[in-house]
């Protein structure tokens, strides 16, 4: 990722996930983290258009979750960055539209926006978002429900596609586009970001995020494991703000008092075991090739 | 109750409940309309590679449909990946679809590990909709019990449901293509030789699963006709298989939870018939979706039939090599390495 002359290289990361997966809040917190000089990624100037990001961090800096991304927002976010402590390693992080509804539309209409092929050109890195206790989470069918359905009995059957089915579908779609474009030698980097990690029960807060995935998204977990030749995977737990503004009474005040830049963390497993770092930029940094320590 | 939907293509209100135009009550949105025609027969969605749809904003490339594969799509997959073509046959309501749904749910919930692992599927929505009784054949006898959202598939075209299964013992991954056919195809083939043309793909199948309704096999008033028809079906299948009589052949006695997970006495007649025809086989009982967990757990018996097929294949107990799959007057060579 070194740049010796003019324009910094553009590094693209696909943000994948349905509505309420925590993508927007993560992006906003990511931006703030690039200002503190302590995170793996640091800001290297300002993007030409800050309107989307300002709409997000505006809420965060007031101690609130960012509003839902509206359809009128720009489709691509750009963040000029450098690797902290290495001024030679710079680039421009480009993230396309992260509206969850866009991914649902892709699933529903079975159509891929041609402009996104740029994200699967020379390298392909994705951040796949799932959120703990998301109101939009759709569970998988259980045997009891299926049995009732087959007997024609009334039941509160969830008619919507399970969240993990969407996630596998999206990864397969990305892979199929890579295959169509004959880029089969590309190993896709997939960072799975489990957001709202602060909502994990305290006795489980130090578990391997991959174990959480295994228990709660077994279809997805099996898929990425079985396809290890196509994917390089890392699973992160992220708390963008260190707590929950809506479900934790008083946390908003605590967040503002402590200082937004000091709240938030990433958890992952390395050779030493469970690791927690107060650096929310790590998932993106890993996508860009940064080695986790 | 009338269903409502949004006619705005990119709005996902039906999935999320959130109107993209910002209406707090989606029904107040002018794009939100009621669907007065609850039943329809959509064409099987087919993708046309490289067919682009230009919109005002950008070009959109079509993706694979995600429900089921037609014959040509199945052949396309066979050319690119290691596949098992599995013919799933049986009369109407024998439990064929239930068996496949059970397999999907089992593997999704990690219940076939440590040996068998989910490695992908191009039929995810197909399985999900079938499990919810939202997608079925237009000729299904249970049509009255389905909701207005049920999609009725064209019974003239076969469908294949795909699951990629990784065998951790053998360290390989195969794409399984299970046929999903109306029960009438089997019934008609029993009666008329010319109706077996529809089952031509059986000639190239890597395995056959024949599903027999266990409760009917137990029922004194139904068993004799069922045994007679099933034995006739076996003869038709033998004609289709030709020299490939060692292809893994599994007879599944379904609805095992309702018959105490015990093989009905009449099952012995089926075994005798297959032996007489020279067809190597396994006969097993399964409870795809159990109504009584005290008798059997849901999915019981599924693991055994998958193992049988895979282990028979690994032993290469039947002739492999050049096999032709005739599809709509075109032939595809499927070289098997």
pLDDT tens for each residue of A36-70: 888 999 999 998 888 888 888 999 999 999 987 76
Strand partners, A239: A265
Question: What is the CA angle A12-A14-A15, rounded to 5?
Answer: 135
Check CB contact of B134 with chain A, cutoff 8 Å.
Answer: yes
Interface of B with A in 283-312 (CB under 8 A): 289-291, 298-299
Identify the three-state secondary structure at position B86: strand
Cβ burial of B275 (10 Å; 0-12, 13-18, 19+) is exposed
Q: Are B64 and A110 in contact (CB under 8 A)?
A: yes
Res B48: pLDDT: 41
Res B198: pLDDT: 81
Q: Which residues of chain A does B145 touch, with a Cβ-Cβ cutoff of 8 Å?
A: 152
Mark yes or no for CB contact B131/A162 under 8 Å.
no
Shortest Cα distance, chain B CAs vs residue A147, angstroms? 6
Give the one of A108, A110, A141 whose C-beta lies nearest to B105's C-beta: A141
The lowest-confidence range among A218-227, B65-74, B129-138, B227-236 is: B129-138
Check CB contact of B243 with chain A, cutoff 8 Å.
Answer: no
Mark yes or no for CB contact A110/B52 under 8 Å.
no
Torsion of CA A278, A279, A280, A281, to 10 degrees: 180
pLDDT > 70 in chain B, percent: 70
B34 or B211, higher pLDDT: B211
Check CB contact of B64 with chain A, cutoff 8 Å.
Answer: yes
Backbone angles phi, psi at B321, to 5 degrees: 135, -150
> Which residues touch B135 (CB under 8 Å, ≥6 apart)?
B67, B126, B129, B150, B151, B153
Res A98: pLDDT: 74
Identify the three-state secondary structure at position A117: helix
Identify the three-state secondary structure at position A81: strand
Site from B6, B8, B15 to mutate, A interface, most A CB atoms within 10 angstroms? B15
β-strands B151-153, B59-62: how paired?
unpaired
Q: State the average pLDDT over residues B228-237.
A: 95
pLDDT, tens digit (0-9, with 9 covering 90-100), for B190-206: 888 777 778 888 888 99
β-strands B83-89, B172-180: how paired?
parallel
pLDDT at B10 over 80: no
Closest of B6, B7, B5, B9 to residue B55, by C-alpha: B9
**Stretch (H or E) spanning A102:** helix A100-109
Res A3: pLDDT: 39
Res B80: pLDDT: 82
Give the one of A18, A71, A219 whose C-beta lies nearest to B108's C-beta: A219
Q: Are A163 and A130 in contact (CB under 8 A)?
A: yes
pLDDT, tens digit (0-9, with 9 covering 90-100), for B260-319: 999 999 999 999 999 999 999 999 999 999 988 899 999 999 999 999 999 988 776 444
Please give the distance of CA B278 from its chain centroid, rounded to a whole number: 26
B201 or B219, higher pLDDT: B219
Res A123: pLDDT: 66
Identify the three-state secondary structure at position A43: strand
Q: State the average pLDDT over residues B252-260.
A: 96
Site from B80, B114, B120 to mutate, A interface, most A CB atoms within 10 angstroms? B120
| Alpha helix positions (H), B4-95 | 13-16, 71-80
Cβ burial of B295 (10 Å; 0-12, 13-18, 19+) is middle
Instruction: Quote the tokens at residue B269.
Output: 């007649």
Check CB contact of A226 with chain B, cutoff 8 Å.
Answer: yes
Res A2: pLDDT: 40
User: Tokens 């109504």, residue?
Assistant: B291
Res B19: pLDDT: 66
Instruction: Quote the tokens at residue B3.
Output: 């269903």
> Which residues touch B40 (CB under 8 Å, ≥6 apart)?
B151, B152
User: Tokens 């749809």, residue?
Assistant: B53
Give the one of B16, B58, B120 whose C-beta lies nearest to A104's C-beta: B16
B8 or B237, higher pLDDT: B237
pLDDT, tens digit (0-9, with 9 covering 90-100), for B37-69: 333 223 333 334 334 444 445 788 999 989 999
Strand partners, A188: A231
Task: Kindly state the DSSP code that residue A236 receives in the 8-state scheme.
Answer: E
pTM of the predicted model over 0.90: no
Check CB contact of B125 with chain A, cutoff 8 Å.
Answer: yes
Nearest residue of A to residue B128, measured between CA atoms: A161
Gap between the Cα atoms of A221 and A236, Å rounded: 13
> Which residues touch B25 (CB under 8 Å, ≥6 apart)?
none
Backbone angles phi, psi at B261, to 5 degrees: 55, 35
Gap between the Cα atoms of B210 and B252, Å rounded: 6
Res B2: pLDDT: 44
Torsion of CA A219, A221, A226, A228, to 10 degrees: 150
Task: Kindly state the DSSP code that residue A153 receives in the 8-state scheme.
Answer: -
Gap between the Cα atoms of A4 and A2, Å rounded: 7
pLDDT, tens digit (0-9, with 9 covering 90-100), for A258-289: 999 899 999 999 999 999 999 999 999 999 88
Instruction: Quote the tokens at residue B183.
Output: 């029960």
Strand partners, A185: none
Q: Which residues of chain A does B93 touch, with a Cβ-Cβ cutoff of 8 Å?
A: none
Res B316: pLDDT: 60
Closest of B280, B281, B282, B285 to residue B302, by C-alpha: B285
Check CB contact of B103 with chain A, cutoff 8 Å.
Answer: no
Identify the three-state secondary structure at position B6: strand
> Which residues touch A112 (CB under 8 Å, ≥6 apart)?
A106, A173, A177, B60, B61, B62, B63
pLDDT, tens digit (0-9, with 9 covering 90-100), for B93-122: 999 999 999 999 999 999 999 999 999 999
Res B18: pLDDT: 61
Gap between the Cα atoms of B267 and B254, Å rounded: 12
Rounded to the nearest integer, the mean pLDDT of chain B is 79
Res B324: pLDDT: 41
Closest of B202, B179, B207 to residue B189, by C-alpha: B202
pLDDT at B336 over 50: no
| Alpha helix positions (H), A133-244 | 143-150, 163-180, 209-216, 218-226
Identify the three-state secondary structure at position B222: helix
Q: What stretches in chain A show pLDDT beneath 70? A: 1-7, 70-75, 122-123, 154-158, 183
Q: Are B46 and B70 in contact (CB under 8 A)?
A: yes
Strand partners, B164: B175
β-strands B249-254, B282-285: how paired?
parallel
Q: CA distances (Å), B49 to each of A104, A266, B61, B107, B334, in order? A: 22, 41, 8, 30, 21
Interface of A with B in 237-276 (CB under 8 A): none
Task: Kindly state the DSSP code that residue B197 receives in the 8-state scheme.
Answer: G
Check CB contact of B38 with chain A, cutoff 8 Å.
Answer: no
Q: Are A17 and A100 in contact (CB under 8 A)?
A: yes
Instruction: Quote the tokens at residue B243.
Output: 């020299």
Q: Which residues of chain A does B63 touch, with a Cβ-Cβ cutoff of 8 Å?
A: 106, 110-112, 173, 176
Give the one of A117, A147, A226 whose C-beta lies nearest to B289's C-beta: A147
């Amino acid at each position: 990722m070194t740049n010796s002359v003019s324009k910094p290289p553009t590094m693209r990361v696909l943000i994948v996930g349905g509505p309420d997966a925590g993508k927007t809040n993560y992006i906003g917190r990511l931006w703030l983290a690039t200002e503190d000089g302590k995170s793996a990624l640091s800001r290297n100037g300002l993007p030409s258009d800050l309107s989307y990001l300002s709409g997000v961090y505006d809420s965060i800096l007031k101690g609130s979750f960012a509003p839902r991304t509206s359809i009128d927002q720009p489709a691509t976010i750009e963040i000029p960055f450098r690797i902290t402590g290495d001024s030679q390693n710079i680039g421009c992080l480009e993230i396309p539209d992260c509206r969850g509804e866009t991914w649902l539309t892709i699933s529903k209409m079975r159509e891929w926006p041609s402009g996104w092929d740029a994200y699967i050109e020379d390298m392909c890195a994705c951040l796949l978002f799932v959120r703990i206790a998301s109101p939009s989470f759709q569970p998988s069918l259980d045997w009891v429900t299926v049995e009732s359905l087959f007997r024609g009995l009334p039941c509160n059957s969830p008619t919507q596609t399970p969240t993990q089915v969407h996630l596998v579908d999206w990864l397969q779609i990305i892979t199929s586009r890579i295959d169509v474009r004959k880029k089969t030698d590309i190993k896709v980097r997939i960072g799975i970001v489990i957001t709202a990690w602060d909502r994990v029960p305290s006795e489980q807060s130090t578990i391997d995020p991959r174990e959480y995935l295994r228990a709660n998204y077994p279809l997805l977990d099996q898929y990425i494991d079985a396809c290890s030749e196509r994917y390089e995977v890392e699973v992160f737990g992220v708390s963008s703000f260190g707590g929950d503004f809506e479900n934790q009474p008083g946390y908003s005040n605590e967040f503002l008092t402590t200082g937004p830049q000091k709240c938030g963390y990433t958890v992952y497993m390395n050779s030493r075991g469970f690791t927690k770092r107060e650096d929310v930029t790590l998932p993106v940094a890993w996508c860009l090739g940064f080695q986790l320590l | 109750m009338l269903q409502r939907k949004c006619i705005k293509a990119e709005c996902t209100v039906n999935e999320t409940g959130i109107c993209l135009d910002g209406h707090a009550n989606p029904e107040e949105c002018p794009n939100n309309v009621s669907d007065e025609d609850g039943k329809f027969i959509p064409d099987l969605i087919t993708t046309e590679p490289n067919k682009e749809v230009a919109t005002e904003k950008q070009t959109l490339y079509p993706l694979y449909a995600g429900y089921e594969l037609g014959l040509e799509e199945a052949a396309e997959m066979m050319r690119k990946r290691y596949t098992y073509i599995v013919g799933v046959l049986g009369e109407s309501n024998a439990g064929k679809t239930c068996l496949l749904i059970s397999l999907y749910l089992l593997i999704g919930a990690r219940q076939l590990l440590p040996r068998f692992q989910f490695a992908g599927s191009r039929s995810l929505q197909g399985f999900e909709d079938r499990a919810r009784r939202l997608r079925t054949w237009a000729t299904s006898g249970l049509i009255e019990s389905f909701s207005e959202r049920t999609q009725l598939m064209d019974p003239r075209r076969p469908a294949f449901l795909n699951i990629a299964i990784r065998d951790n013992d053998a360290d390989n991954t195969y794409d399984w293509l299970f046929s999903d056919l109306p029960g009438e195809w089997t019934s008609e083939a029993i009666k008329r030789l010319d109706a077996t043309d529809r089952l031509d793909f059986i000639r190239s199948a890597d395995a056959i699963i024949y599903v027999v309704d266990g409760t009917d096999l137990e029922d004194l008033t139904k068993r004799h006709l069922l045994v007679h028809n099933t034995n006739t079906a076996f003869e038709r299948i033998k004609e289709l298989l030709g020299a490939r009589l060692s292809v893994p052949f599994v007879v599944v006695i379904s609805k095992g939870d309702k018959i105490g997970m015990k093989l009905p006495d009449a099952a012995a007649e089926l075994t005798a018939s297959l032996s007489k025809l020279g067809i190597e086989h396994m006969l097993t009982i399964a409870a795809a979706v159990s109504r009584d967990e005290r008798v059997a757990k849901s999915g019981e018996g599924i693991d055994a039939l998958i193992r049988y097929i895979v282990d028979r294949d690994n032993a290469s107990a039947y002739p492999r090599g050049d096999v032709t799959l005739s599809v709509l007057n075109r032939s595809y060579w499927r070289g098997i390495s």
